[in-house]
Every structure is written in C-alpha cells, then in structure tokens.
Amino acid sequence: MLSPRKTPFEYIKQSVENEGYLPTELIARLPKHWRRIGTVGIIELHTSLWPWKEKIGQNYLSGISELSTIMQKVGVTTTTIRTPGYEVLAGNPDTVTLHKELGCKFWIDALRLTFSTGNHAERQRLIKITTEGEQIIDMFACVGNLSVPISVHHPTVEVKGVEINSYAYSFLEKNIQVNHLKERYQPIFGDNQTHTPINWADRVLMGYFELTPRQLEVALQALKQDQGGIVHTHGLTTARQPFNWRQTIEKLILEKFPYFQLKDTKQRVIKSIAPGVHHFVDDIHIIRKN
C-alpha cells in the first residue's frame, strides 16, 4: 500500500531530523504554521532554535514548494511608517512579491512594509459593509491593504488614499494600476494631518494604532459636513485596560463639530497581538444634527 503523502510540515520535520543538526528535544518546537505574503513565508522561531535559524529556514524553503523566501519575526513593528521586525533566513533576499487575496493583487516588499495577514477578515468585512457609490478616504493607505479590496469589489465607489512613506506609496500607485482602479482611486502622497481631503467622505479608514487627536479631528473634517458618515478607528486593548475611541470622539464633536452627533459605535476585535492584547476597530457612526 502506498503511504499517504506527507504534509509540508511533516516533510520539513523529517528533513530536519534526517540532517541531524538540531538537538532532538528541540524538534517539537519547530513551528507548525507560517504566514504567507505572496511567495514570502514568515515563521516565528522560539529563541532556543535561533542558533540554527538559517538551516531551519532552508528546510522550510524546501518543504513549502510555492515559497521563494523564508523570513522570521524578530521584533515588533516599529516607527511611524510601520517597518515590520523581520529578517530573511533563507532563499531569495529580494522580498518584493505579488500577494493575491480577495480577488485583488498587492505588490509589496514583505520585509519592509506592513501587510497583516491577520487583517483578512477586516478586509472582507469592509467589502461587505460598503455600499455602492460611497466616497472613502483611507488615511493610512500603505499599499492599499484595506482600501484596494473595497475599490475592486465596488465599481462605483471612489477612494482617496493618503500615504506618508514614499516606498509604500510607490507600491500603492502600482496596485492601483494592476487592479485597474485608476479612474476611481486617487493616491495622495503626504502626511494625512495636512493632505487629507476635507468635506468629501462617507467613510474614513484609520488603520493605525497610534492615532493622534489631530488625526481624529482631520477624520471628522474629511466626512461630508452636511451628512456625517462612518469613521473606523483602530487601536489596541487589553482585558485589564479596555479602551475605545467613543469618549474621545464625543469630546471632539462637542468642542469642534457642534453640528454633528454620535449615532452609535460598535467595537470588534480583529486579531490577538500578544497574550491578552487585542487589535480592535471601532465603527463610529456620526450624523448631522437636525
């Protein structure tokens, strides 16, 4: 009888064992899962495995046929432009890749720019809740992570995406082109505090963890002033320190937008970032007072 085909992980484990470089007691620590952006695979290695990280990377590369590079997570995403904490372990050092998701094409440098595979459900949800004809501003566009899928799936929606990092912006321009969105998606290069269009949007996306009071004010200015709309604010929350943006927005409306009123807010968790720490999004629905 033929033996059943090995899964990629079984193959990887078997090759590590065969090569014999890793102490047997550490075999159980090999990661069974990995994330994938285009042809770049991302693994998280326990620090006890780090002395053999390049060899392990090579085994993952050989075991997962569709990948050309293996990176590992070595730190947290840092800086305003959100540089992810990755290093290349094996394979092609050129980490520019084409990622396909939800019927969209995303060109991205997986080593240097953020594309969270954990935000997949949020990308799907945004497609679902957007209605035809909406005007949307993405204040933290990156390569179009959240707003390109909306645009691809809603042929009458118009988007303006603001991005401060010239490298990310170059990919945003490319993604607008390869997804045939040129007529409906306007990329804007610059700081969203000064470059966000005002009085235009039905919906504003704020996919960023460290929002400033100025950016929240700009988001409310960006909404159609005679109607209001929905602002999606992101953030981090823990069970011990629950947080949402409701109070901040209420205060802002009171002080600077007296003609607006908060209709309702809904919070949902997007993903777990660390034990007990969650990435959330608040849907903040603002309407014009009668």
Q: Which residues bind ligand SAM (CB under 6 A)?
A: 80-82, 114, 116, 119, 140, 142, 145-146, 162-165, 168, 191-193, 207-208
Q: Is 240 helix (H, G, I), strand (E, B) or coil?
A: coil
Pick 189 or 243: Cβ nearer ligand SAM: 189
Pick 69 or 119: Cβ nearer ligand SAM: 119
To the nearest whole angstrom, how small is the minimum distance from the Cβ of residue 6 to ligand SAM? 35
Structure tokens at 102: 């939800």
Other CB atoms within a 10 A radius of the CB of residue 134 amount to 18
To the nearest whole angstrom, how small is the minimum distance from the Cβ of residue 140 to ligand SAM? 3
Residues 92 and 71 sit within 8 Å (Cβ to Cβ): no
Pick 195 or 288: Cβ nearer ligand SAM: 195
Spatial CA neighbour of 265 closest among 289, 240, 287: 287
Pick 117 or 227: Cβ nearer ligand SAM: 117
Pick 8 or 197: Cβ nearer ligand SAM: 197
To the nearest whole angstrom, how small is the minimum distance from the Cβ of residue 2 to ligand SAM? 44
Residues 234 and 281 sit within 8 Å (Cβ to Cβ): yes
Using CA of residue 275, residue 236, residue 119, residue 132, what is the dihedral sign?
A: positive
DSSP state of 210: S
To the nearest whole angstrom, how small is the minimum distance from the Cβ of residue 210 to ligand SAM? 8
To the nearest whole angstrom, how small is the minimum distance from the Cβ of residue 162 to ligand SAM? 5
C-alpha 250/C-alpha 282 separation (Å) is 13
To the nearest whole angstrom, how small is the minimum distance from the Cβ of residue 147 to ligand SAM? 8
H helix or E strand, kind and range, residue 205: strand 203-206
With CB atoms as reference, the residue minimizing the distance to ligand SAM is: 207
Pick 133 or 190: Cβ nearer ligand SAM: 190
H helix or E strand, kind and range, residue 167: helix 166-178
Spatial CA neighbour of 232 closest among 283, 198, 270: 283
